[in-house]
Structure 1
Amino acid sequence: MKKELHEANRHSWNAATVAHNSHKGDQAAFFRAGGSTLFPEETALLGDVNGLSVLHLQCNAGQDSLSIARRGARVTGVDISDEAIDFATRLSAESGVAARFERADVYDYFEAAAARGERHDIVFCSYGTLCWLSDLGAWARGVAQLLKPGGRFVIVEFHPFALVFDPQWKFHYDYFNAAPVPEEGVGDYVAESGDGLIAADSPMPGVQDFRNPHPSFEFTWGVGQVTTALAQAGLTIERFDEYPYTNGWKPFEGMRDLGGRRMAPPEGMPRIPLMYALAACRA
């Protein structure tokens, strides 16, 4: 586990989170009006969450956490970024949607939560979370440990095959890579995706030409590594689905909206897996 790189990522996410939320307008009003940031894939996999305890790992600024809470769940959101958790806490108070948020490195949270006997019906994470994990096995064991018997783990994630490309669809990154990948910092992917990642009616200009002053470090995990880690942690994989589109995110040039903010490659390009979803349960 590379905690010094986690700390570097914390600083990078603190800077990026301010830029991201600057484009999203009055999010409290959006939630007060009944809004939700969940896509159909998450809603279907989560199922009926009314009355259930849901742990949302790497929850970012809490928008999806509050969307789950609106459906009747008791939600705890955890994220490494101070800015993200501060924003999520304010958004919960201002929107009137109750949820609890805690700032912590996910591995530290696993240790503390296990020590106090914490258990949940569902552990959930989504969209760009696994690349920030330096120890996949420890993560999978932590997820399993915090599930009640019969509890479920649900993840919707960008497909690692898609992440071998640069923004111009040229092969650039190794799919099989055991070393941390240094980056210039978490970018403003919200601005780059335009209305793709804005659930409100119209995006706000917000921060312009954002450049992150803090470098970041990512980790590459293939589909086989993810499924194996969860299985070795004692979880039974119930389903695994792949999708030829991304929800909201436009990481590559020429991406087009298929409807419902499902972003696909340009016309004429062969379909490839850009996103996947997995559900697993604890016996």
Structure 2
Amino acid sequence: MKKELHEANRLSWNAATVAHNSHKGDQAAFFRNGGSTLFPEETALLGDVKGLSVLHLQCNAGQDSLSIARLGAAVTGVDISDEAIAFATQLAAQSDISARFVRSDVYDHFRDAQARGERHDIVFCSYGTLCWLSDLSAWAHGVSQQLKPGGRFVFIDFHPFAMVFDPSWKFHFDYFNDAPVPEEGVGDYVSQSGDGLVPEGCERGVENFSNPHPSFEFSWGVGQVTTALSQAGLVIERLDEYPYANGWKPFEGMRDIGGRRMAPPEGMPRIPLMYSLVARKP
């Protein structure tokens, strides 16, 4: 486990979160008016969560956590970013939605929660999460430990195959990469994606954001993810792939095909841009 790289990522996310939220307007009003940031895919995968305990790993600034809590779940959101958790805690209070938020490296949270004997009906994580994990096996075992018998792990993320491309759709990155990938820092993908990631309308906010803190990402293929979860004792119930990316426009010419589902340019062969997985603890 490369905790020093996690610490670098924490600083990078602290800076980026300020920029991201600057584009999202009055989020408390959005939630008070009944808004939700969940896409239909997450809602369908989660199912009826009323009365269930949900652990939301790498919850960022808490918008999806609060959307799940509004559906009747008791939600605990965990994220490494101080800025994200402080924002999430304030947003919950201003939105009058009950949720608990914890600032922690996900691996530290697994250790601490296990010591307290915590267990959940659902562990959930989504969109841009696995690339920040330096030890996939330890993560999978932590997910398994946090689930009650019969509990479910619900996961959706951008497809690792799509990450082989540069922004102009040229093959650039290695799918089978075992080394941390140094980056210039977490970028302002919210501004880049415009209304795709801000259902209430993207505002100008911070312009020309340049992160002063570098970041480090890790590559995990679909096979590695499913194997790690299986070896941690979880039973894979479904694995689905999607020819679009919810909200995100990482490549040139991406177009909204409806419902903020972003697809490649017209005429380009369809490729998997997202995948989801549901696993159950026996």
By the TM > 0.5 criterion, same fold?
yes
Partner of 2:27: 27
Q: 1:260 offset after TM fit, Å?
A: 0.2
Q: Deviations over 1:54-96 (max 9, x none)?
A: 0000000000000000000000000000000000000000000
Runs (4+) off by over 4 Å: none
User: Separation in 2 of the partners of 1:280 and 1:261?
Assistant: 27
State the SS of the aligned residue for 2:160: coil
Q: Could you tell me how far apart the structure 1 residues matched to 2:8 and 2:85 are?
A: 17
Structure-1 residue corresponding to 2:216: 217
- Deviation, structure 1 residue 242: 0.1
User: For 1:267, what is the secondary structure of its paired residue?
Assistant: coil
- Kindly report which structure 2 residues correspond to 1:1-283, keeping only aligned pairs within 5 A, or say none: 1-200=1-200, 202-283=201-282
Unmatched 5+ residue regions in structure 2?
none
Task: Give, in whole Å, the separation in 1 of the partners of 2:174 and 2:96.
Answer: 44
Read off the aligned partner of 2:258 and give its amino acid letter.
G
Q: Tell me, in whole angstroms, the C-alpha distance in 2 between the residues paired with 1:127 and 1:114.
A: 25
Q: Which runs of 5+ in 1 are unaligned?
A: none
C-alpha deviations, 1:238-275, integer Å up to 9, x for none?
00000000000000010000000000000010000000
Q: How much does 1:199 deviate?
A: 1.7
The secondary structure found in structure 2 opposite 1:161 is helix
Given residue 87 of structure 1, which amino acid in structure 2 is its aligned partner?
A: F
* SS state at 1:125 partner: strand
Q: Percent identity?
A: 82
- Separation in structure 2 between the aligned mates of residue 194 and residue 81 of structure 1, nearest angstrom: 23
Deviations 1:29-51 (A, max 9, x none): 00000000000000000000000
Shift of 1:196: 0.3
Give the letter aligned to residue 218 of structure 2: F
Q: What is the CA–CA distance in structure 2 between the aligned matches of 1:115 and 1:139, rounded to whole Å?
A: 16
Any idea what the Cα deviations from partners look like across 1:148-186, whole Å, max 9, x if unmatched?
Answer: 000000001000000000100011110000000000000
SS at match of 2:134: coil
Letter in 1 for 2:69: A
TM-score by length of 1: 0.99
Amino acid corresponding to residue 11 of structure 1 in structure 2: L
Size of the aligned set, in residue pairs, is 282
* Aligned partner of residue 205 in structure 1, secondary structure: coil
SS in structure 1 of the partner of residue 112 of structure 2:
helix
C-alpha distance after superposition, 1:109-166 (max 9, x if no partner): 0000001100000000000000000000000000000000000000010000000001
